[in-house]
Amino acid sequence: MTRRRPATARVARASAALCTTAVLAGVLSACAGYDAAALARQACQHVDRSLTLYRASLTTADPKAAAAEQSEALGQLRDALPMAATAAGEAGQYQGLMSTLAESAHLPESLLVHALSLQCAAAENGGAPLPGPTTTAQTPATRPPPTGR
């Protein structure tokens, strides 16, 4: 009989440890989601600065000043990328933001402005996508109709 009590005590300690671990995992995962949203918002602060600089460069008369503003705008996107990557690792809804920022190494910012604006608006909305236009059968095709026969 004395042998069963230590075994019962071990099972009780193991159960308590397992429950504690489960509770901590739940708390940490909730914090991770919060951290992801905060990181995405921080990344979007850099994106907002970048978009402001980029738009200003479009109206700057001096080509050297415009190039400097565009270079600084690109630097802001590069500063945003690590934060967006960490946010995307924590919560999948920020994958698009990270991917678009990564494309800034290959594409001009003019092609990214719209996507970054929408993704940061969604990040400000807690990561939920914003409602957008829906496609229907009435939406015109992006390719021209076939020719000849």
Residue 23 lies inside a defined structural domain of this protein: yes
pLDDT of residue 21: 47
pLDDT of residue 61: 95
Flag whether the pTM goes above 0.75.
no
Residue 96 lies inside a defined structural domain of this protein: yes
Residue 142 lies inside a defined structural domain of this protein: no
Residue 94, number of CB atoms within 10 A of its CB = 26
Structural domain that includes position 77: 12-124
Residue 146 lies inside a defined structural domain of this protein: no
Q: What is the DSSP letter of 140?
A: P
Residue 139 lies inside a defined structural domain of this protein: no
- The ranges of the chain with pLDDT < 50 are 17, 19, 21-32, 134-135
pLDDT of residue 126: 73
Residue 7 lies inside a defined structural domain of this protein: no
pLDDT of residue 28: 45
How many structural domains does the chain have? 1
Q: Return left, alpha or beta for 91; rule: phi > 0 is left, psi -120 to 50 is alpha, else beta.
A: beta
pLDDT of residue 125: 82
**What does the block give as tokens for 117?**
């604006």
pLDDT of residue 85: 96
Residue 37 lies inside a defined structural domain of this protein: yes
Q: Closest Cα partner for 77 from 34, 48, 111? A: 48
